[in-house]
Amino acid sequence: MHVATLNPAEVMAAAPDYFALQMGAEPCRTTHPLAESLSARQIAFAIGAKLRTPSNTEAAMAVVARGLRSADFARLLADGAKNVTVAAYDAAAQEHLQFSGITTVSRLQQEPLPAIDGDLDLQPLGEFSEIAHGAALVAAGGATAQMSTFGRIVTVSRELVINDQLNALKAVFAAVGAHAAQKEAAIVAATLNGNPKMDDEEDMFSGANTVKAALDGPALGVAMGMLRNQNSAAGNALNLRAAHLVVAPELEYAARKAALDGGLSISVSALAGLPATRWFVFPDAKFHPVLTLLRLTGASNPLRMEHKALFNTDGTGVRVTADLGATFMRRTGVVRGGSDLI
Between the alpha carbon of residue 79 and those of residues 32, 73, 85, 158, 223, the distances in Å are 16, 10, 10, 19, 46
Distance CA 273, CA 294 (A): 20
* Region 231-258 average pLDDT: 93
* Region 196-207 average pLDDT: 89
Judging by beta carbons within 10 Å of its beta carbon (0-12, 13-18, 19+), is residue 87 exposed, middle or buried? Answer: middle
Q: Which residues contact 219 (CB under 8 A, 6 or more apart)?
A: 211, 213, 337
Residue 214 has pLDDT above 80, yes or no: yes
Q: For the chain, which residues make up each domain, given as ranges?
A: 1-68, 98-147+186-299+326-341
Provide the pLDDT for residue 165. Answer: 84
* Region 66-72 average pLDDT: 89
86-107 pLDDT, tens per residue? 999 999 999 999 999 999 887 6
Distance CA 247, CA 108 (A): 30
Q: Which helix (H) or strand (E) holds 154?
A: strand 148-157
Residue 125 has pLDDT above 70, yes or no: no
**pTM attached to this predicted model:** 0.84
Helix (H, G, I), strand (E, B) or coil at 113: strand
Residue 130 has pLDDT above 70, yes or no: no
Model confidence at 42, pLDDT cuts 50, 70, 90, reads very high
Between the alpha carbon of residue 63 and those of residues 7, 212, 317, the distances in Å are 15, 69, 18
Question: Which residue blocks in the chain are alpha helix, DSSP H?
Answer: 8-22, 40-51, 60-68, 71-92, 94-99, 158-162, 169-193, 217-229, 252-261
Return the bridge partners of 113, or none: 143
Model confidence at 315, pLDDT cuts 50, 70, 90, reads confident
